[in-house]
Structure 1
Amino acid sequence: MSDRWPEHLTVRPWTAGDARSMAAWRYDGPWRVYNLSAQEELPDEDDGYMAVADADDSRMVGFYCIGEEARVPGLGAELGVVDLGVGMDPIWVGNGHGVSFGRVVINYVRRAHPTAMLRVVVQSWNTRSLRLVQRLGFIDSGHHVCVQNGLPVTYVVALLPAP
């Protein structure tokens, strides 16, 4: 794997190899909550996931998902709203690539859903991701609390209005 951030990113279909790669990602510190456990079922090609990859060699640097896969427990679907979840390989996290990565994802999702509002949820302690979604134009619209792994988790809900 190259140690340089790709000059150009593209979105491509999700593969079983992408799922295996994502399962091996290990985040440090409080971001460990995003590590997949061995018991979790890996997303497959039919789960609404797409890979964000280097346009030159197709290696995955992250992913996005929409719809039900992007929603946390208790957060219902809303008419005119596309739920969006994203993840980036931890080797790239915290290195200033979030805005370029996020813009690629937003532009791609906007092509398929040009009039929809986009909704993301970010755990309330994750100030780094909260700053990123603000820089991408999302607006804080409240909080959502749900129980995950037996514990209450508070999320900030943020919306990106349709253009």
Structure 2
Amino acid sequence: MSGLAIAPLSREHALDICAWRYDPPYSSYDMTGADPDWLLDPASGFHAVLSGDELVGFRSYGEDGRVPGWEYDDRALDTGGGLRPSLTGRGLGPVAVAVGLAHGRAAFAPPAFRVTVASFNARALRVVEGLGFSRVGRFASTHDGQDFEVLVRPEP
């Protein structure tokens, strides 16, 4: 797979993402209920992660990275994302997140980045901790009671 890049999300990308289904226990990340028009709305902050012309994932910046139940503030830019289900567990996470952080740094110049990760998702926690994020708290979502970890990485 060639180098990854962040690009604007197209309608084709949004429709593709809305069909993604993950194997349990990652099925909580399924995008099947998402509205493609919401993904395409610039206010939603979604971007494509591409390898050449191939959609391999997405990154989001802002509100989408927040989970109900934590008291978020503006001291960090929330970011989230996902990989195409068939590509998870193959070691692409660190590169995809790092490319997303570089884009977020260039586009938003935040003082820090913040991620909210499901507590069971050891793979994602390893990725973000390996990229310099530190855990700052844990909470249960007011949406479904699932436990989440909040991690922050200050920017220089």
For these two proteins, the number of residue pairs brought into alignment is: 153
Q: 2:153 aligns with which of 141, 149, 160?
A: 160
Q: For 2:153, give the aligned amino acid.
A: L
Which structure is larger by alpha-carbon Rg, 1 or 2?
1
Aligned residue number for residue 56 of structure 2 = 61
- In the alignment, the residues of structure 2 paired with residue 45 and residue 17 of structure 1 have an alpha-carbon distance, to the nearest angstrom, of 14
Within the alignment, does 1:49 sit opposite 2:38 as a pair?
no
Query: What stretches of structure 2 of length at least 5 have no aligned partner?
Result: none
Q: 1:72-115: CA deviations, max 9, x gaps? A: 11334423310001111011110111111111111111112334
Q: Partner of 1:50: helix, strand, or coil?
A: strand
Q: Partner of 2:142: helix, strand, or coil?
A: strand
* Contact 1:48 1:67 (8 Å CA) reproduced: yes
* Contact 1:15 1:45 (8 Å CA) reproduced: no
RMSD, aligned CA: 1.5
Counterparts of 1:69-108 in structure 2, within 5 Å, are 69-108=64-103
Q: Partner of 1:91: helix, strand, or coil?
A: helix
* Contact 2:118 2:148 (8 Å CA) reproduced: yes
- In the alignment, the residues of structure 1 paired with residue 45 and residue 110 of structure 2 have an alpha-carbon distance, to the nearest angstrom, of 19
Greater share of helix? 2
Taking every aligned residue pair, what percent have the same amino acid on both sides? 31
- In the alignment, the residues of structure 2 paired with residue 83 and residue 76 of structure 1 have an alpha-carbon distance, to the nearest angstrom, of 12
The normalised TM-score by structure 2 is: 0.90
